[in-house]
Amino acid sequence: MDNPIPPARQEYYDRIGRDDLAPLWEVLKTIVPREPKSSARAKLWRWNEVKPLLLEAGRVITAEEAERRVLVLENPAYRGQSRATPTIYAGLQLILPGEVARAHRHVAGAIRFILEGEGAYTAVDGERTAMHPGDFVITPSWTWHDHGHTGTEPVIWLDGLDLPIVNFFECAFLEHHEEEIYPQKKPQDDSLGRYAASMLPLEPESDSPNSPIINYRYDRSREALARIARHAAHDAVHGFRLRYAHPRTGGWPTPTMGGILSLLPKGFAGAPARQTDGQIVVCVEGRGRTEIGGQWFDWGPKDVFIVPNWTRFRHEAAEESVLFTLSDRPAQERLNIWREGRG
């Protein structure tokens, strides 16, 4: 639309504009692009730079003042918007020994991936779970949850929430519990042990699309990954990988966000690919680098990086490495708009 608009046409536009009408033909190419061009930017946060800043937050503000002591990972393209990708909020949360984050619930669902430290727990609808590095913990939409710390060292985890999705659809609700800590209703780590046996109650349960497992422990996930690496062939782009699953449906653990754990063998040089979901990637073990939109990013343990939607990427691993990926692929699949391209 480079040509200037003729005056008669402009007069028409002004006139219809007064009734909140606009000519589609002037914007058609903009709103219906030929392919996605992500508004996000690639970015990597180094653990050894971020961790000191986070610990400093523990001194700058009390847990009580902060409610949640979190540094938001803001995509450089969206400063001030609390988004790591177009659709996911991500942050690094710090909890210190003795602190408690009080019980509440909100429509936004959360996924936590534990980065460092022992002794903290999270509780979901009255079931508490101890969190260990590498654990994948969910606090599904509209479940009561609170955190606490009965140990001796700082604990840090990655938070991913579908806040931008819930806010885009204008569906956000929040409620605080009358008690600081939601009453405990089940033994600690109850779901963990029960679902590991692949057995279910006979009595009708919830048909929630959210997984009843609140903690997928790293020791088990890592073992499952090692197991498939012993006999399956690896994927040219992704290495060996497994996704966290809902034990009653086989689907993703939440309807909007999901997690994948990948094992890249030492020396792995992945083929390039693109996918429409925006990825937040954590290096869990190992060392390597990823090319994102033409730029290489080196990574080591606990570094976090962003692969924007439909941006070409490829992974290389100098050592055997494990990557955790959080994305909105479940939401995109449910809306039937997810797509990937190889090459």
166 vs 283 by CB, closer to its own copies: 166
Binding of residue 221 to its own copies (CB under 8 A): yes
Token pair recorded at residue 279: 């990825």
339 contributes a contact to its own copies by CB under 8 A: yes
Residue 48 to residues 200, 289, 299, 300, Cα–Cα distance (Å): 43, 17, 11, 10
Does residue 50 belong to the site contacting its own copies (CB under 8 A)?
A: yes
The reply to whether 285 sits near its own copies by the rule CB under 8 A is: no
Nearer to its own copies, 75 or 129 (CB): 75
Give the three-state DSSP class for 145: strand
Nearer to its own copies, 187 or 294 (CB): 187
Closest CA to 46 of 319, 283, 255, 235: 283
Residue 278 binds to its own copies (criterion: CB under 8 A): yes
For its own copies, give the closer residue by CB, 2 or 24: 24
Name the residue among 146, 142, 117 with its Cα closest to residue 131: 117
* CA–CA separation, 307 and 313 (whole Å): 7
Task: Report yes or no: 165 and 89 within 8 Å, Cβ to Cβ.
Answer: no
Q: Does 296 bind its own copies (CB under 8 A)?
A: no
Contact between 163 and its own copies per CB under 8 A:
yes
**Tokens 């140990």 sit at which residue?**
151
Select from 329, 323, 338 the least CA-distant residue to 257: 329
- The interface with its own copies within residues 3-22 (CB under 8 A) comprises 8-9, 12, 15-17, 19-22
Q: Which stretch binds its own copies (CB under 8 A): 35-43, 111-119, 147-155, 280-288?
A: 35-43
Binders of its own copies: how many residues, by CB under 8 A? 128
Task: In angstroms, give the least distance from the CB of 317 to its own copies.
Answer: 19
Nearer to its own copies, 61 or 271 (CB): 61
Q: Which of residues 78-107 bind its own copies (CB under 8 A)?
A: 79-80, 82, 86-87, 89, 91, 106-107
Distance of CA 85 to the CA centre of its chain: 9
The 10 Å CB-count burial string (b at 16+, else e) for 330-340 is bbbeeeeebee
Q: Exactly one of 132, 177, 194, 289 binds its own copies (CB under 8 A); which one?
A: 194
x/- site string to its own copies, residues 106 to 135, per CB under 8 A? xxx---------------------------
DSSP 8-state assignment for residue 187: -
